[in-house]
Structure 1
């Protein structure tokens, strides 16, 4: 079991050297959440005897279509430069996206190699519980013998951050200089963690890429979704038996079925999302940012220019069709609806509808978050506009997730290479270099490079990442104002 060995609180972990970097993978950060621990907050991991082989990623959280997933998924990964440093290194923690139902830290795109090499940082990623196992609220079914807790996936994320505070110094990282970065639901995790009392002090700054900030729901709505879920897996009405004995795949499949149905019946909501339970998550994050109750730390937040065009093709869960959008506006002031629709030329045609849906899920809540947070802490806004010729040709443009190729520097292999088959690789490299420099400056110092000013309510300065990146004041300001008065479902 030769390889770089590190002693942490639970024992010795032995990793491996990968292309000149030291990697430790699949380290348990909490006890396996099975049996009585299913639907409970994470519990401390027991110390192990002898060295732990930490050369491979741990199992993915249970999800549809992934055969090697497992409830034994609460593992964390660390990537660091092989060379030692006299000073502790900044730490960048990435939380993967996937609508809280798919994904894992083992995705090739999320390896973090380029950021570690370029920035000399320590990079951390981890898995957390997804779907019903992590994001449905079954507390109404608790009994004296069996407790169900809220926000289990969110609690996992807090446990991972606590693990980092206890152990990252052993890997050369600085526990006082931790940045948490997430994309999509991972970005929702970031903005939610900023509003979670248990996470206060566990990280020093935050990056939220395409965060559906408003996707958090109250106990009443969550209770209704849980009841529908339970009725689908427990026709005999024995909720406790069904929830505790159903296989992970049965739970994942039932989550997918209910998600697809409610995408039509309650468009603009997500059944797998944090629950504002008044305790672990005491306030809707969008309100917490407005009221100054979020962690007063530097925040870098933004979205892509055409977020919604991804979803009808790959994950059809947002209000990106005429039928869903009309239903989404059911409880909206007709004047607000008219203003919003008028700001999307071509609506209800397909691309305009997708742009509207993506904006109301990702862009508009991120703007609300930024305009609230900038009153209390440094805030930096961006929009990612770059798209190589192929993405323009197929009508996606700069859509949801395409910014990750640039920020991770994943340009030469996999999807990153395929997106530039019709050209644009040198331009994409330039965009990637620019974004990486800003990201790493933020990770090190709490601010991007000096060309990117803080967001203010007077000017709404926004960095536009494109072939030529530049700061613009209040881009799409008329569209932003058109959404004033719209209220997200809770």
Structure 2
């Protein structure tokens, strides 16, 4: 069901403990992303606020956690907003939103209950309700409701993009930060589109595989059982084009200039896929690799092989998936907003440190988060230990300052660190390695290749994009004058 606001109250209310996390699968103990969540409940839409003492009209930084729309919580120690608030003068907000089958199931029975005839997108509805709460109430904590930045990483960054494209979220934020977002194909609620079945048919099929007939039977299941069975049945949560909360594919909304008119800061990590090996296809022999690329990419195969050569197969395949999902999305966001005349800033996080590099996880997915929040000491095993050195502290201070100044006035600035040029014709971005450094034409050749691939697939209208790349690519649709 859509979320409901908590009733108003007059008396003093105890609010010193985190609210419960939303129902989700248990963390795999060996995953570097494993975390202790504490209490779990279906009544989980809560917010956490950190504010400097006595502050007034401070910029507001609203963080949406990642976790593939399946796991995570705003209470995770790495997202602790105390240092950003104290040192950068921000009011920091984190939040929970419904996950998995409870957050993103579409089903004809659910649509029939809705006055608008829709279902799915419940997690997105939670995020919008949270932003509405911020708009009404953040002034009481010293925040400026007219200077709100919405930010997130991975599924949180995907959520930022969805909020940018949702007409229901218009006007609820003033800037956007997307760290490792992925602007992949969405299913439509009732119709097949872009090679995907309708979201309602996916929901009906899921219910059948779980051995239930209707929504009442699904609601009768305990939440933990519903989460467990839906995972075993292969349910993958994602947003839905329902013509109310989302009206078109994300990339199409940007092409039409109908996205939120806000400055954007977007980027990705060099080693995204090193910690996400499940996204990587089996590595073939060299000749099989080249044959698959030529079959899939046609006249673009030579360009592809020059960027992702067959003589370093694992590196090339890691880079292909990274660039098709995260790199292309980050630059697409920056380019789209720049085209509309809004300040846009692009980055690549390419920083490694001994424990991560020894584990083969240089600049892995989400590894920038402790530097943005200044929470390196909260990153406990199995997360690779971040050393307590001057170099690591300096990089974190710089990134905190860039992110906070962007939230403050739309321009990332860090005293004593390199100037961060805005994205433009030279496609300049910032690289965070040992220290921040600007880099003209950062990743431009790779972006151009994947932009043409996505454009052709969109034009064909029956092929998804982003997931099926490299050796998994189906034959590329013919040249299209719109894709030059």
In the alignment, the residues of structure 2 paired with residue 454 and residue 196 of structure 1 have an alpha-carbon distance, to the nearest angstrom, of 25
Partner of 2:158: 188
Q: Residues 139 and 178 from structure 1, CA distance in 2 versus in 1: closer, same or farther, beyond 3 angstroms?
A: farther
74, 98, 108: which one aligns with 2:45: 74
298, 317, 328: which one aligns with 1:334: 298
Q: Residues 152 and 338 from structure 1, CA distance in 2 versus in 1: closer, same or farther, beyond 3 angstroms?
A: farther
Report the count of equivalent residues: 429
Partner of 2:98: 129
Instruction: Confirm or deny that 1:464 pairs with 2:442.
Output: no
Deviation of 1:62 (Å): 0.4
In the alignment, the residues of structure 2 paired with residue 298 and residue 228 of structure 1 have an alpha-carbon distance, to the nearest angstrom, of 41
Partner of 2:203: 226
- Which segment is superposed worse, 129-138 or 356-365? 356-365
1:426-441 matches, within 5 Å, as 426-441=390-405
372, 375, 381: which one aligns with 2:346: 381
Please provide the CA RMSD for this pair.
Answer: 2.8
Partner of 1:302: 267
Q: Which runs of 5+ in 1 are unaligned?
A: 1-39, 263-270
- More strand as a share of residues: 1
Deviation of 1:215 (Å): 5.0
Deviation of 1:331 (Å): 10
In the alignment, the residues of structure 1 paired with residue 232 and residue 316 of structure 2 have an alpha-carbon distance, to the nearest angstrom, of 27
In the alignment, the residues of structure 1 paired with residue 219 and residue 297 of structure 2 have an alpha-carbon distance, to the nearest angstrom, of 43
Partner of 1:275: 240
Q: Residues 335 and 61 from structure 1, CA distance in 2 versus in 1: closer, same or farther, beyond 3 angstroms?
A: farther
In the alignment, the residues of structure 1 paired with residue 15 and residue 357 of structure 2 have an alpha-carbon distance, to the nearest angstrom, of 42
Q: 1:409-429: CA deviations, max 9, x gaps? A: 1223433997456x6832221
In the alignment, the residues of structure 2 paired with residue 112 and residue 436 of structure 1 have an alpha-carbon distance, to the nearest angstrom, of 11
Local SS of the residue matching 2:380: helix
Partner of 2:422: 454
In the alignment, the residues of structure 1 paired with residue 295 and residue 131 of structure 2 have an alpha-carbon distance, to the nearest angstrom, of 39
Structure with the bigger RCO (C-alpha within 8 Å, sep 6+) is: 2
Deviation of 1:384 (Å): 0.6
Deviation of 1:364 (Å): 1.3
Deviation of 1:274 (Å): 1.2
Deviation of 1:330 (Å): 12
Q: Which runs of 5+ in 2 are unaligned?
A: 27-36, 458-463, 466-484
Instruction: Confirm or deny that 1:198 pairs with 2:173.
Output: no
Q: Residues 403 and 144 from structure 1, CA distance in 2 versus in 1: closer, same or farther, beyond 3 angstroms?
A: closer
Deviation of 1:355 (Å): 2.8
Q: 1:228-272: CA deviations, max 9, x gaps? A: 31122235xx1223322122112212332344xx8xxxxxxxx31
304, 307, 332: which one aligns with 1:368: 332
Instruction: Confirm or deny that 1:59 pairs with 2:20.
Output: yes
Q: Residues 142 and 443 from structure 1, CA distance in 2 versus in 1: closer, same or farther, beyond 3 angstroms?
A: closer
Deviation of 1:459 (Å): 0.3
**Preserved contact between residue 21 and residue 96 of structure 2 (Cα < 8 Å):** yes
**Preserved contact between residue 110 and residue 119 of structure 2 (Cα < 8 Å):** no
Partner of 1:166: 136
Partner of 1:256: 231
**Preserved contact between residue 139 and residue 150 of structure 1 (Cα < 8 Å):** no
Local SS of the residue matching 2:452: coil
Q: Residues 177 and 397 from structure 1, CA distance in 2 versus in 1: closer, same or farther, beyond 3 angstroms?
A: same
Q: 1:417-443: CA deviations, max 9, x gaps? A: 97456x683222121111111111111
- Give the alignment's TM-score, normalised by structure 2: 0.82
246, 252, 255: which one aligns with 1:287: 252
Partner of 2:65: 96
In the alignment, the residues of structure 1 paired with residue 253 and residue 309 of structure 2 have an alpha-carbon distance, to the nearest angstrom, of 33
Q: 1:325-355: CA deviations, max 9, x gaps? A: 99x9999553446643552235784443233
Q: Residues 217 and 370 from structure 1, CA distance in 2 versus in 1: closer, same or farther, beyond 3 angstroms?
A: farther
- Give the alignment's TM-score, normalised by structure 1: 0.81
Local SS of the residue matching 1:278: coil
Q: 1:363-406: CA deviations, max 9, x gaps? A: 11222222222111111101111111222222211110000011
- Which segment is superposed worse, 195-204 or 62-71? 62-71
Local SS of the residue matching 1:415: coil
In the alignment, the residues of structure 1 paired with residue 293 and residue 200 of structure 2 have an alpha-carbon distance, to the nearest angstrom, of 23
In the alignment, the residues of structure 1 paired with residue 383 and residue 97 of structure 2 have an alpha-carbon distance, to the nearest angstrom, of 30
Deviation of 1:454 (Å): 1.1
Partner of 1:356: 320
In the alignment, the residues of structure 2 paired with residue 484 and residue 80 of structure 1 have an alpha-carbon distance, to the nearest angstrom, of 41
